[in-house]
């Protein structure tokens, strides 16, 4: 069975490791290519887009892909929608692994935004804002004039910050809560803007902001796709196991680690 793993999350790395060397299973992964030095996966990996729905359809057919496991970032909505639609059209097995979102503490609630541009209504002029959304959607914050913007990114930028009131800082995760608190205090951050990605690796900045009493503006997740979904690595591996047993009924074993 040929499996395409749409990667880009910590869960995708765990899945690739668990599937390494499984008899009867050919795994290849795909990364969007937004990071210059992505963490290596334990399987052959292609980097870059597919060229839209037609390109994705052509790739699945050309590579004789039997199943697609979407373990991209929860906000990689375009790729996830393309995968769900094309797989449905082709009758290709498809599953989206969508990790649970963070749940807010009712005692210390955050402010909600529907998208990047919507965050501005919660942020007063003069505020120092830490944009923990990555550089890809930075231009969507064009309406944050009169605030000082800081965006952290993994790679050195090829171009300057798109607005005169902002700056990039380059750092590679992981970061713990103490490091994030120290950083926010050093920068004089008043407000943290982030997307509800969920998961443990990205949580420290949120916990740090809450502990410091900073304003937190959370960009809510888009509506879920109408497709088969799971919310854990173990459930995703069970799904692969079931697909593989349909093709090779004899003794299928996968690690859930």
Note the pLDDT tens digit of each residue in 113-144: 999 999 999 999 999 999 999 898 899 999 99
* Extended beta strands in the chain, E state: 2-6, 26-31, 45-47, 67-70, 93-97, 111-113, 128-131, 148-153, 166-170, 191-195, 215-219, 229-230
Neighbouring C-alpha atoms within 13 Å toward the C-beta of 172: 7
- Global pTM exceeds 0.95: no
State residue 249's pLDDT score: 52
| Cα–Cα separations (whole angstroms), residue 171 to 1, 19, 118, 156, 180 | 39, 31, 27, 9, 12
The CATH number fitting domain 2-100+223-247, selected from 1.10.10.410, 3.30.360.10, 1.20.120.350, 3.40.50.720:
3.40.50.720
For 111-219, the fitting CATH number among 3.40.47.10, 3.40.50.720, 3.40.50.10470, 3.40.50.300 is 3.40.50.720
Tell me the C-alpha distance between 164 and 182, whole Å: 25
- Eight-state DSSP code of residue 126: T
**pLDDT score, position 34:** 75
Q: What is the pLDDT of residue 33?
A: 80
Which ranges of the chain would DSSP assign to H, the alpha helix?
10-19, 52-62, 77-90, 177-187, 203-212, 233-247
Q: What is the chain's length? A: 257
CA distance from start to end of the chain: 21
Q: What pLDDT is recorded for position 251?
A: 46
Distance between CA 149 and CA 145 in Å, rounded?
A: 9
Say what the pLDDT of residue 248 is.
59
- Kindly give the parts of the chain with pLDDT less than 70: 36, 248-257
**CATH 3.40.50.720: which residues of the chain?**
2-100+223-247, 111-219
Are 225 and 68 contacting, i.e. CB atoms less than 8 angstroms apart?
no
- Residue 243 and residue 65 in contact, taking contact as beta carbons nearer than 8 Å: no
What pLDDT, on a 0 to 100 scale, did the predictor assign at position 71?
97
Q: What is the pLDDT of residue 245?
A: 86
């Amino acid at each position: 069975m040929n499996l395409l793993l749409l990667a880009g999350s910590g869960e995708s790395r765990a899945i690739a490791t668990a599937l390494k060397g499984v008899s009867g299973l050919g795994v290849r992964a795909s990364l969007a290519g937004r990071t210059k030095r992505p963490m290596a996966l334990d399987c052959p990996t292609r980097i870059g887009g597919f060229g839209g729905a037609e390109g994705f359809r052509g790739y699945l057919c050309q590579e004789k892909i039997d199943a697609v496991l979407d373990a991209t970032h929860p906000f990689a909505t375009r790729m996830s929608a393309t995968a769900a639609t094309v797989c449905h059209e082709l009758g290709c097995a498809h599953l989206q692994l969508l990790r649970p979102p963070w749940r807010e503490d009712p005692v210390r609630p955050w402010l909600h935004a529907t998208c990047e541009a919507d965050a501005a209504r919660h942020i007063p002029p003069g505020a120092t804002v830490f944009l923990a959304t990555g550089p890809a959607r930075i231009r969507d914050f064009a309406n944050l004039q009169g605030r000082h913007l800081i965006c952290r990114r993994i790679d050195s930028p090829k171009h300057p910050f798109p607005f005169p009131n902002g700056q990039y800082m380059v750092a590679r995760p992981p970061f713990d809560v103490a490091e994030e608190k120290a950083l926010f205090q050093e920068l004089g951050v008043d407000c943290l803007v982030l997307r509800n990605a969920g998961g443990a690796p990205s949580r420290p900045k949120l916990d740090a902001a809450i502990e410091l009493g900073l304003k937190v503006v959370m960009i809510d997740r888009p509506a879920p796709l109408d497709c088969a979904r799971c919310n854990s690595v173990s459930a995703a591996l069970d799904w692969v196991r079931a697909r593989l047993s349909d093709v090779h009924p004899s003794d299928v074993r996968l690690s859930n680690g």
